[in-house]
Structure 1
Amino acid sequence: MRLGLQVPNFTWPNGQGELGETFGLIAQRAEHAGLYSLWVMDHFFQIQNVGPAENEMLEGWSALAFAAGHTNHIKLGTMVTGVTYRYPGLLVKTATTLDVLSHGRAYFGVGAAWNEQEHAGLGVPFPPLGERFERLEEMLQIALQMWSGDEKAYEGKHYQLARPLNSPQSIQKPHPPILIGGTGERKTLRLVAQYGDACNIFLRLGKDEVKRKLDVLREHCDKLGRPYEQIEKTTLDTIRLSRDGRNGTLSPSAAIDHFAEQAAIGIDQAIFNSPDVTNLEFFDVLAQIMPEVEKIPVAGRE
């Protein structure tokens, strides 16, 4: 089983003056602890369940490029980029640039977007949900075409590209893995089955509901003739760790059990954030448990 760290909050005790140093250190500690991936949100205002909109929020792809320069092996992705934020061709160029400069470490995390407040605040159009999903599907088609090297004109309902040239091409072949965020059963999981390489499901839904969502994904795969096993299943959660499990935190043994329960329902990679991400103890515990977590078999992949 694999573990990934999401960093959604950049408001830290040592203040904005050391934000870059702190984020770089977090990326390095995550890599040294043995984590597989590092993720940031792609938002422009802080989201409500993390903090007030005025709190510090780094632009996602620039932050990942910064993290790439401070690390050597850990995978890097946005959790996730909304389709409304960037023209698809430019987004593919951005993701490809990260993949090239990081020697093949980029994920392409995308979704239909939802935060209307930041759209209005920064003057970004926010079309209705149905149109956003249409745009998301076209963006996925454009990404796959550009990464295949096909330069013929793309003519979609919402996007028209006269020459979708992508040079240099990505290091990862056939392309950086496409992670589609969201759990909508009719549209989102169908897009995962048709275009994606990974899905992401909130663990707060509960293990039974996560498993049911995976069953829906399997049904979409069966209808499309896509091998379900080709898709990486990931979760997103918030955890706290300590050496002794004090104050409601997970001890090393409890953390291993926590991840094993997810692997038992078919989760390949557990991604999590933590309010303790600036504390050394958090990464010390991760480094302690990683050898055992990596041995955990994932159901369906034994």
Structure 2
Amino acid sequence: MRLRIFTEPQQGASYETLLSVAKATEDLGFDAFFRSDHYLKMGDVSGDPGPTDAWITLAALARETSRIRLGTLMTAATFRLPGPLAIAVAQVDRMSAGRVDFGVGTGWFEEEHTAYGIPFPSLNERFERLEEQLEIITGLWRTPREATYDFEGKYYRVADSPALPKPAQDGGPPVVIGGFGAKRTPRLAARYADEYNLPFHKLGDTELAFERVRKACEEAGRTKPMVYSAAQVVCCGRDEAELKRRADAIGRDLTELRENGLAGTPAELVDKIGKFGELGAECLYLQVLDLHDLNHLELLAFEVLNRL
């Protein structure tokens, strides 16, 4: 089981804070540093100093780290045009010497679109746009050198593209697709994804979602292995007092977190992570909400990661 640190900077984090968390992630032996791709805070927090752009942040972190993988859960297809997005991700992949994973989804948070002048079409159109973006982005990355790429879709047209720059990873960064959708999400994952991720669901729902994607892969005749992963809010403490202090710091009820997230003593976390492993998860994203509590990362590394 690989453990990855997953952050939500729109809730309030400067680049300097993200850098400190990324460096701790690397130094403590975690597999990767991931961040959300959002432009507006959620819930009753200040959000100061305001949002940081996901791919600009990851480009900087690519030069400040040397081992951990870097990626998004999830870049919204509504935020960027497919050609420029393919260029940006390919460049960050080269800047990191091939350490990028590309998580992408439809986009779902209407308020952030309104707040920053980004069109927010219907869910059906967002799925259609996502599928065209996946076809274009992966097509650009995989086009042989000296060849050109063309695409004619409902929303995007690409003609005589040199399909440059090429990512450092052959064929492009691994694509991560996630969500609990019952039909379109499994189909897109089976066709385009290297990894399927289910965020913030209980074990039973996780098993159901994994099975839907496995079935979609079988129906599509896919032979390439799929990585299955989950994301959970994490809150770890050596005792109840430390646990409650950390839960209070992120505005969550400890009892609710134990039921719906990954909360408890190191032994409790190791046990629950093992249950995700039994379902087929190879990777778990630990959503760390208090980015100033680096002692939390140390505890997770020494008492959870080292036991797996």
CA positional deviation for 1:53 = 6.4
Q: Which amino acid aligns with 2:9?
A: N
State which drifts further: 98-107 or 151-160. Answer: 151-160
Pairing 1:290–2:290 present = no
Number of corresponding residues: 285
Question: Who is 2:5 aligned against?
Answer: 5
Q: Is the 8 A contact 1:155 1:161 kept in 2?
A: yes
Q: Which amino acid aligns with 2:2?
A: R
Q: Is the 8 A contact 2:10 2:38 kept in 1?
A: no
Runs of 4 or more above 3 Å deviation: 9-12, 50-55, 243-246
CA positional deviation for 1:238 = 0.6
Call closer, same or farther: CA 1:269–1:86 in 2, change over 3 Å. Answer: same
Return the TM-score normalized by structure 2: 0.86
User: Aligned Cα RMSD in Å?
Assistant: 2.0
Alignment of 1:1-302 (within 5 A): 1-9=1-9, 19-48=14-43, 51=45, 56-149=50-143, 151-203=148-200, 205-227=201-223, 230-244=225-239, 246=242, 247=244, 250-288=264-302, 289-293=304-308
CA positional deviation for 1:252 = 2.2
Percent identity, please.
30
Structure-2 separation of matches of 1:217 and 1:10:
30
> CA offsets, 1:204-245, max 9 Å, x none?
x21011101111111111110013x71111111111122345
Return the TM-score normalized by structure 1: 0.88
SS in 1 for 2:177: strand
SS in 2 for 1:113: coil
Q: Which amino acid aligns with 1:2?
A: R
SS in 2 for 1:91: helix
SS in 1 for 2:78: coil
Q: Is the 8 A contact 1:183 1:201 kept in 2?
A: yes
Call closer, same or farther: CA 1:113–1:10 in 2, change over 3 Å. Answer: closer
Q: Is the 8 A contact 1:81 1:111 kept in 2?
A: yes
Q: Is the 8 A contact 2:10 2:47 kept in 1?
A: no
CA positional deviation for 1:52 = 5.6
Structure-2 separation of matches of 1:241 and 1:276:
12
SS in 1 for 2:70: strand
Q: Which amino acid aligns with 2:129?
A: R
SS in 2 for 1:230: coil
